[in-house]
Structure 1
């Protein structure tokens, strides 16, 4: 019991002597390193916020402004950490080399995510679309809800959230119809109908609908001549968030208008003759 107690006392004494010796030799270095880290943290936060406010004043995209501010914060803080390590006599050269090798390995392992961030940076800089625009790319269409560095979030009319990695938006043919989306429809009328009256009446009725955008202007005209009748083409723009509901409402108005004007909609007919 006494021997074990003696061993514990010796161990505690050695630890105490080691700590005391460390504090005597490196107390000022530790204090200086702590002060440097605190000053570095304060300065990094101040400079980061200053850059974000400056970008906001220059009407820079919010996501890009925050990204630049975060990069500035990390860069300044890293510089102060290296300075603090130097207070202990630690050489930063091997540390920098290790960080470089680690960064290279991480870059090779994370090519997909890194390319997404690079593409997101390009999107924010060039601004081919912004929040609220309706875009179509690679067979996917929706309203842009949020643009992040790694991905773009889109929302469909069915309230489905589509997450598109940004690398799929760069280098592809991208259609941007902004807030509205075009609807292209047709309706057939019988040969002999007054096409001028039909076009004028449909144009007036559609212009009275709130869901049909005033700009760009709708276009209605003769699109083709079918086997059974004249094909009237309709091109108009509606808010993309309710694309299908607006399209169906316009189709109903077109049908009722033709009925009210006694314009017949032809249908395929076949005449069969019996030869005796």
Structure 2
């Protein structure tokens, strides 16, 4: 009984020794190849990022291309290291394809977000720092990830939008600024030219109002009680309401100082009394 166990142990020992003798160099070579692959992936990824940064490519696309480069290089070196053991990668590729197909069917919603994120990054419909409105949500683009996009509002709220809900929707991109459109009524007895110039002076003096694109001021319409002066100007999204309220107050004070009245609807009622007798 003891002799049989010793014989089995000797066979196991001999098997291990034979394996190490036969495959030790392959194992060491595989680890060396993986180490070189990690270093090469890091260096090539950094080189791609620096190249795109020098060409002033937006940070989202730069980061994405760096990650793709690292994954591709690592994949190539893993395949090479597996070849050191005499392992054919064809069955693994087939199994990976089948697993990916099954996961795609099971996770159709989440996977479609990644596909939409890839489309957004490559098409560059908008980039980080742009001011966009999509699906009724407005804000500054803080980050574009494969699964979702992050917007930051003026109130410092973070809005997370799944990327599949962005693709195919109408996107308003005002880049770093957002337009303010408003009207103010002046009396028909006032000079429209004076009112327009007064409002232009206010917008010119306000540091928050963008000079490019330039603001626009002119007669918008003619109402029953007033001439509507329309004004359009651009302000930073992060200070949208603050800038709008400042301009409104400054326009009101400036028109008042010029003696330009802002009329309001008025209705005169006449009472006729019948004479007695």
2:89 to 86, 89, 92: 92
Work out whether residues 190 and 264 of structure 1, in 8 Å CA contact, stay in contact via their aligned partners in 2: yes
TM-score (norm 1): 0.85
Q: 2:48 is matched with which residue?
A: 51
TM-score (norm 2): 0.84
- For 1:132 and 1:89, the matched residues in 2 are separated by 50
User: Are residues 127 and 214 of structure 1, via their aligned partners in 2, closer, same or farther at CA, if it must alter by over 3 Å?
Assistant: same
- For 2:260 and 2:47, the matched residues in 1 are separated by 67
Give the stretch that moved more between structures: 168-177 or 235-244: 168-177
Give the 3-state SS of the residue equivalent to 2:71 in structure 1: helix
Work out whether residues 63 and 149 of structure 1, in 8 Å CA contact, stay in contact via their aligned partners in 2: no
Q: 1:176 is matched with which residue?
A: 173
User: Are residues 189 and 118 of structure 1, via their aligned partners in 2, closer, same or farther at CA, if it must alter by over 3 Å?
Assistant: same
Instruction: Map residues 255-266 of structure 1 onto 2, 5 A cutoff.
Output: 255-266=252-263
> What is the CA deviation profile of residues 41-70 of structure 1, one whole-angstrom value per residue up to 9, with x for unaligned ones?
333333333333333344333332332333
Give the C-alpha shift of residue 144 in structure 1. 1.9
Give the stretch that moved more between structures: 193-202 or 35-44: 35-44
Q: 1:162 is matched with which residue?
A: 159
Work out whether residues 116 and 166 of structure 1, in 8 Å CA contact, stay in contact via their aligned partners in 2: yes
Indicate whether 1:112 and 2:109 are aligned. Answer: yes
Listed as ranges, the gaps of 5+ residues in structure 1 are none
User: Are residues 195 and 32 of structure 1, via their aligned partners in 2, closer, same or farther at CA, if it must alter by over 3 Å?
Assistant: closer
Give the C-alpha shift of residue 9 in structure 1. 8.0
User: Are residues 87 and 132 of structure 1, via their aligned partners in 2, closer, same or farther at CA, if it must alter by over 3 Å?
Assistant: closer
Number of paired residues? 273
